[in-house]
A and B are shown apart, each in its own frame.
Chain A
């Protein structure tokens, strides 16, 4: 995997690296923004924990939109500014929620409830929670295989090597485990 360029980083280089899910690009965003965002949240009725939570949610929204093409890159828009804005909106939405309404005064003339894009991004949280729960309900061997394939993005050959299985059996097992995961997600759907 190519490392971080040694020359000053251009916006398009950062964008391409983020699209390719390169670790250094994630680190770059994290290092550039986490402190300034924490500072901003702490000055807007939040704690350090609130800041971390909103920061991670904002990053997740941004990365999912980047990968699905919902975020459109523009060379003249700094990616760090865009991401800061994603995180900021998550925190403003938290502030506007009933949980925190009495604790604060909204810092901006911005109503998160009317931000359709933000609300759509946040709605994905329910799906994510269902998949997370279902994954944790899988038996260990299935969960491990699913995590290696979908979370760590290893190939079936690499997984076969790690688990001491034949590649063809790994392929079949991946199908079986994904089916089980699907059934577990379906079981939860009516509850939520």
Chain B
């Protein structure tokens, strides 16, 4: 496909063609199977990219909302004026704010781990398997390939659930096995997602 065709398909999908252009395009779509599959593929790409953009906006909204909660609590602390209660209230609120910040850090840390895991979970069959089934395959799988893949998905499932310690331990095991098909990917995840 050349640039002109790409542009034309994009204009069609964005409703940017004039009425005669659209009619002509749709007539061509009925007979040209290559064009039809190209349109379907571009639709798929656009859907995926749009979803990723929305996910990013949702995570931004989450961060802003949590930051507001922390900042509201800090403001309450500043407004406290009763002499006798001031100190105790301040300590309590500071602890509350600290806890919220800690919670926020924990949550955002877990979200980022989950995001990393999601990116790696490309096989829907493995992704939807219960953890105990995956663990079963790591021991009893028919081939080394199946056992290694299951082991990799167990590590991803731990990350997805926020079980950082278990995920790190298993990824470290995988990354130390040169014969493991997921050695490099485990190393990459350890670098990206763990301190």
Contacts and interface: CB of A to CB of B under 8 A. Distances in A.
Nearest to B42: A182
Contact of A182 (B45, B53, B65, B161): B45
Contacts, number: 122
Contact of A136 (B119, B127, B161): B119
Given A34-B65, A124-B51, A135-B52, A191 B58 contact: no
Contact of A128 (B3, B51, B161): B51
A85 interface: no
A67 B50 contact: yes
B51 A60 contact: yes
B128 to A, nearest CB: 7
Interface residues of A, number: 47
A122 B16 CA distance: 29
Given A23-B61, A31-B65, A49-B162, A185 B3 contact: no
B48 A172 contact: no
A74 interface: no
Interface string A127-166: 1111111011000000000100011110000000000000
Given A49-B161, A182-B41, A132 B118 contact: yes
Interface in A21-40: 21, 23, 26-27, 29-31, 34
B119 A133 contact: yes
Interface string B47-76: 111111111111111101100100000000
A178 interface: yes
Q: Would you call the interface of chain A mostly helix, strand, loop, or mixed? A: helix
Interface in A169-192: 172, 175, 178-179, 181-182, 185-186, 188, 191-192
Contacts of A21: 57
B52 A30 contact: no
Given A26-B61, A97-B128, A136-B119, A52 B107 contact: yes
B58 A56 contact: yes
A98 interface: yes
Nearest to B130: A99
B51 A64 contact: yes
Contacts of A49: 110, 114, 161-162
Contact of A131 (B48, B58, B59, B65): B48
B64 A131 contact: no
The 3 A-B pairs at the shortest CB distance, nearest first, are namely A131-B48, A26-B61, A150-B49
Interface of B: 1, 3, 6, 41-42, 44-45, 47-62, 64-65, 68, 107, 110-111, 114, 118-124, 127-131, 161-162
14 contacts: A26-B57, A29-B61, A31-B65, A67-B50, A99-B131, A124-B51, A131-B44, A133-B119, A150-B52, A152-B53, A175-B3, A181-B45, A188-B122, A192-B123
